[in-house]
Amino acid sequence: VLVLYTGGTIGMKSENGAYVPVANYLGDAIRHTKVLHDNQCLRSLMTEDDWEIATDTSLGAVDLPFALPTSVGNRTLLYVIYEYEPLLDSSDMTMDDHLRIAADIGLEYDFFDGFVILHGTDTMCYTASALSFLLENLGKPRWPRQLQRLLGALILAGFYCVPEVCVFFHNELLRGNRCTKISTNDFDAFASPNCNPLAKLGIDVHVYWHRVLGADHTRKFRVHDTLCNQ
């Protein structure tokens, strides 16, 4: 899974009584978080030569891979993080940023099984909605999503093929262009009034496959490169 870290509080660090985005802090934090990374598992699966290949992407060099301790069906999930420069406050996101994210997914589409975008919550729904139209004939899961939500997003993106742009929040997977932010204080901050959740994460993962849009594998994946601002 490729994780695109665009910004947001998930990678912020407390400095002088305020939280600020710090370059390369997120990867260091995850590497010391056992629920998100198992170094022994990584070393058993990959040699240092493999690491060199895995950290060379079309977007540029990325940090060493991470191995998720959680497995499904004896499958282990490996993921890498590409950090944007500069890190963006989601309230500053523009259509150019939406186009950049879509283009980056297009560049790496053939090399990863799923994509997770780490994104601030203020405009997450706008980005998810834009990407749902920019990424045509999507055949792989991709969604914007703090550390516990990252775990759930990785599990869903890596082990369950929901070929849609979605928002994962408060253990629910919502269709990206059918959700809205309803609270800045509650854990249940996002809702999808006219479309029930596509999946819920609890002790077990429940994917409501009858609600999921099926991928059309007869049509080629396409990334659109323009948006209308009218």
Of 55, 57, 70, 121, the catalytic one is: 121
CB 179 within 8 A of CB 191: yes
Q: Distance between CA 221 and CA 208 in Å, rounded?
A: 24
Tokens of 176: 């990206």
Look up 33 and say whether it is catalytic.
Answer: no
85 Cα distance to chain centroid = 17
Tokens of 222: 């396409």
| 134: DSSP letter | H
Angle made by CA atoms 32, 36, 40, in degrees to the nearest 5:
70
Residues marked as catalytic: 121
